[in-house]
Structures are given as C-alpha cells and as structure tokens.
A and B are shown apart, each in its own frame.
Chain A
Amino acid sequence: MKIKLLNILKVTLAAAALSSAATLPAAAAELADIQAANTIKVGVLIDFPPYGILNENNEPDGYDATVAKTLADDLGVELNLIPVTGPNRIPFLLSGQVDILVSSLAISPARAEKVDFSNPYAAIRIGVMGQADLDITSAADLAGVSVAVARASGQDTTITEIAPETTEIRRFDDDVSAVQALLSGQVQTIGASNTVMAQIRQIAPGRFDEKFTLNQFRLAIAVSPDAPELLAYVNEFLAGVTASGALNEAHMQWLDEPLPSFNE
C-alpha cells in the first residue's frame, strides 16, 4: 500500500512537472515579434463599461477596444482582442498570452514592479457609494460597515489601506457581482468607479448616493518588462493621438465627457 501510494505520488508529480513545463510562459512579444506576426494580441476587459464591454455581436468593445484598434491601425497590423478579467490580466500579459494590456489598468507601484506602464490614456475617479440613509463622509465612518469591491481593483487596494479594522470588506470577482451585492442588500456600501456609480444611479434612482471620493487613478497601457521598444512605441502613439484629439474623441464617444486631466 505504501509503495503504491508513493508511486501514484511520483506519477502525479511527474505529470504536474510536464504540464507546467509545457504551459509555462514564453516571454511576451516585443515590437518586432508583433510586426513579424502581423497581429497584436490585446488584453481588454469586457466587464467594465464603458471602458470594456461586449457589443451586440458578442465582441469586446468600449473605450479600451477603441484605443486598441487605433493602436493596431497605427502599427499596421491585425487586431486580436482577448478578453481578460481584473484578477487575471497581469498573469495573461506575463505569460505571453497577450502582447499588451489596454485593460483600464491603473498605475500603481506594486503593479509597476511586474509590468511596464505607458503614459496615462485615461483616468477614473473612484469613490464609496452607499445606502442613502447611511451617514458616511469619510473612511473613518466605514467602521462596522460592509463594503463590496471587485477583487484586485484600485478601490480594493485603497479601501483595504484606509478603512478601519472593523470594516467588513467583501471581495467579489468583478464589479457586476459587487453591484449585485449592493442592490440585493447583501452589503451596505460599494467601492466603485464614477462610471459604475452612474450606472447604479440609473438602475436604482435615489436608493444610493456617493459618500466620498477615494482616489483618482490614471489608467495606462501595460507591456511586459522585456519589451522596451514596444513601450517607447506606445508612448509615442499616445502622444500622437492626444495631440490630434483622437483620444479625446474616443473618450467623448464612450463616456460622454472630455478626457480628464492626468496631471495631478
């Protein structure tokens, strides 16, 4: 019995080693690889309207996809949009499953240790929204209050940092589940972006109001640290579309407001 178990373990470990060797990551593509492949694989969110959505043809769309399309056109290569989620987007980039992330990724020092950020291409304000009868004006008032956040999002990081010990932070896989938790009364408040808060107001007018602002996040395009030329190219591209007004136009199209200022 003992020997048999040991054998099973050995086979299992060998299989695990084999499969990990097979799936483990080649380095992400550099500019020349993308041009050689004539395709750029861009990771975009599909659960973060209006930055990343699925359109009526079930294809990724939104502000990020529009920026990605402009970038692909600028490069003169085919665009391959690959849906990613908040928690898995950085692993997707580091494992080479996408070449570049245009996935509303907020610049943060911890993330900058893993990926290289371009200059910002958008900015999001995040805040805490809650049931209208709650008297909350600052993070300190969150003591004993439940807050829904999307796991690994900017609001998750910020609230985890500034909320009192007794705050019950409930982490969901995406904004949709967090909003559902708020609407169904499973949580009292939510940490969310200005766009999500606008949607909540639309769905349930008057039930919730914005309590306070947490932060403004600058969103940037992320590339693998092994791709300095790609990063330089993206920055040049962003400077171009900012100057030409194309970026502002895309922002007007999807968010109904001009591109916010990044210099704060």
Chain B
Amino acid sequence: MYDFNFAPVFASFDTLLVGAWLTIQMSTVAMVIGLVLSILGAVGKTSGPKPVRIAINVYIEIIRNTPFLVQLYFFFFALPALGVRLGPNQAALLALVVNFGAYGTEIVRAGVASVGRGHIEAAKTVGLNFFQTLRYVILKPAMRAVYPALTSQFIYLMLASSVVSVISATDLAAAGNDLQSQTFASFEVYIVITAMYFVMSLAFSGVFALIGKLAFSYPLNR
C-alpha cells in the first residue's frame, strides 16, 4: 500500500496558493471580458448586418469545433510568426476569452431568442430607442433566462484553465506539476490541487448565486 505523506506538499503550500491566485485572477478576467464578448457576439448575430453575422458564425464554428488545447498552442506558438508575441499567461488569458466568447455568444443568443417579439414591438411603441430596448427589454430578461447556463460555462472555463500549463503559464495546475516533479509526492499533490479546484468552483458558484440574486430577482423586490 502506498504511504501517503502530505508533509512536503504543505511545506510548499504557498507555491500552490500563488498558482491558485493566478488561476482565480485569470478566470475572473476571462469571465468578464468573455461575457462582454458574448453579449456583443449575440447582439451582432441576431441584429447585425449580414457580413457581421457570417463572421460571427465562422468564429463560433471554428472555436466550438476545435480542441481548446490546439487553440492555446495557436495563440502561444503561431502568433509570434505573425509578429504578435504574448507571454504565456497573456496567451492563456486570450485563449480562454476567445474560447469562452464562442460558447457564451450561443448561450446569450438563446436568451435573446427567448424574448417575445411582442415585447420588442411594445418597446418601440412606447418610444424606447435601440439601446434602451436592448438594455431593458431584451438583454435583462435574456440574461436572466440563461444565467444558470452561463454560470456553468464560467465554472467550466475555470476548470479548463488547468491545461494552460502546457504553454508554461504559471497557474495552479502548473504549480502542482512543478511541486510534484520536485517532491515526487504525486498522489498527494494531485489530491490537494483537486480539493483546491473543488473549493474554488464552490466559491465561484456561491458568488454567482449571490450576483444572480442581486441582479435577477426582480420583479419580486421592485
């Protein structure tokens, strides 16, 4: 039977915390930028001119039909050939945003499609302009309808970020791999970082539940 020895893992626990913090930062920034990208994508796809709709469709199909790992390699290894040199953490963030944008666009678009035509016609009738209609009549109920799907995609983004260590980004999985290679306490390291990812997922879920409560509980408290 394997003898578990967590001592070397906890002796270097601070390196794991540094990695976890980078994972949290990278995921949060990717979620925020990715959400903006998704909303722009959804609006463009539903009400943009034809060339924009085609461009967005091409983007979605390319991203959703290729592995994230390959996209990551592209941003890190292929972009320098085009003269754009990103550090590993920046390339990882860009890949996460671009990847999330494709899935998020489809999710938000589904929400927009769920808004009844009559609501939009009513908004026009009462004299709301395009942006007012978009914000109050379309996006708000649309986001409420797809919020659960969006948050699970956010959690998936955070978990998927664990592969960015392949381009030498310094996230939690990379810190775990480094520690594993120094201590050879592989089971212990993986158990600990699994628990850390689990806790981080729960924490993100909690924050999302709170945001959902504050932003989408109307009209109950209005």
In the complex, chain B residues whose CB is within 8 Å of the CB of A171: 165, 168, 174, 177-178
Residue from B76, B186, B198 within 8 A of A186 (CB atoms)? B76
Binds B, one of A40-48, A177-185, A246-254: A177-185
In the complex, chain B residues whose CB is within 8 Å of the CB of A95: 2
Give Cα A180 to B77, complex, Å.
7
Known: A24-B2, A110-B184, A186-B80. A177 touches B167 (CB 8 A): yes
* A181, B186: Cβ atoms closer than 8 Å: no
Give Cα A95 to B174, complex, Å.
22
In the complex, chain A residues whose CB is within 8 Å of the CB of B7: none
Known: A27-B1, A91-B187. A151 touches B178 (CB 8 A): yes
Known A87-B177, A173-B165; 4 more pairs at CB < 8 Å: A110-B184, A113-B184, A172-B167, A185-B85
* B168, A172: Cβ atoms closer than 8 Å: yes
A interface residues with partner B (beta carbon < 8 Å): 12, 20, 24-25, 27, 87-88, 90-91, 94-95, 110-111, 113-114, 148, 151-152, 156, 170-173, 177, 180-181, 184-186
* B165, A156: Cβ atoms closer than 8 Å: no
* B181, A151: Cβ atoms closer than 8 Å: yes
> Which 3 residue pairs are nearest across A and B when measured between Cβ atoms?
A152-B181, A170-B168, A91-B186
Give Cα A244 to B43, complex, Å.
74
* B1, A114: Cβ atoms closer than 8 Å: no
* A184, B177: Cβ atoms closer than 8 Å: no
B113 contacts partner chain A, Cβ-Cβ < 8 Å: no
Contact with A along B1-20 (1 / 0, CB 8 A): 11000000000000000000
In the complex, chain B residues whose CB is within 8 Å of the CB of A170: 88, 168
* CB under 8 Å from chain A, chain B span 158-195: 165-168, 174, 177-178, 180-182, 184, 186-187, 191
* B177, A181: Cβ atoms closer than 8 Å: no
Distance of A149 from chain B, by nearest CB (Å): 9
Look across to chain B and name the residue whose beta carbon is closest to the beta carbon of A1.
Answer: B209
Residue from A90, A151, A156, A172 within 8 A of B184 (CB atoms)? A90
B interface residues with partner A (beta carbon < 8 Å): 1-2, 76-78, 80-81, 85, 88, 165-168, 174, 177-178, 180-182, 184, 186-187, 191, 198
In the complex, chain B residues whose CB is within 8 Å of the CB of A111: 184
* B85, A177: Cβ atoms closer than 8 Å: no
Look across to chain A and name the residue whose beta carbon is closest to the beta carbon of B86.
Answer: A186
Known: A91-B186, A151-B177, A186-B85. A181 touches B77 (CB 8 A): yes
Distance of A101 from chain B, by nearest CB (Å): 13
Distance of A229 from chain B, by nearest CB (Å): 20
* B181, A177: Cβ atoms closer than 8 Å: no
Give Cα A80 to B79, complex, Å.
40
Distance of A132 from chain B, by nearest CB (Å): 18
Give Cα A170 to B166, complex, Å.
10
In the complex, chain B residues whose CB is within 8 Å of the CB of A88: 186
Most chain A beta-carbon contacts within 10 A, residue among B168, B177, B180, B181 = B168
In the complex, chain B residues whose CB is within 8 Å of the CB of A27: 1
Residue from B1, B77, B168, B174 within 8 A of A184 (CB atoms)? B77
In the complex, chain B residues whose CB is within 8 Å of the CB of A25: 1-2
Look across to chain A and name the residue whose beta carbon is closest to the beta carbon of B174.
Answer: A171
Distance of A15 from chain B, by nearest CB (Å): 12
Look across to chain B and name the residue whose beta carbon is closest to the beta carbon of A94.
Answer: B2
* B166, A172: Cβ atoms closer than 8 Å: yes
In the complex, chain B residues whose CB is within 8 Å of the CB of A181: 76-77, 167-168
Give Cα A27 to B180, complex, Å.
20
Look across to chain A and name the residue whose beta carbon is closest to the beta carbon of B88.
Answer: A170
In the complex, chain A residues whose CB is within 8 Å of the CB of B184: 90, 110-111, 113-114
Supply 16 A–B pairs (Cβ within 8 Å), ascending by A: A27-B1, A88-B186, A91-B186, A110-B184, A111-B184, A148-B168, A152-B177, A152-B180, A170-B168, A172-B168, A173-B166, A173-B177, A181-B167, A184-B77, A185-B80, A186-B76
Distance of A152 from chain B, by nearest CB (Å): 3
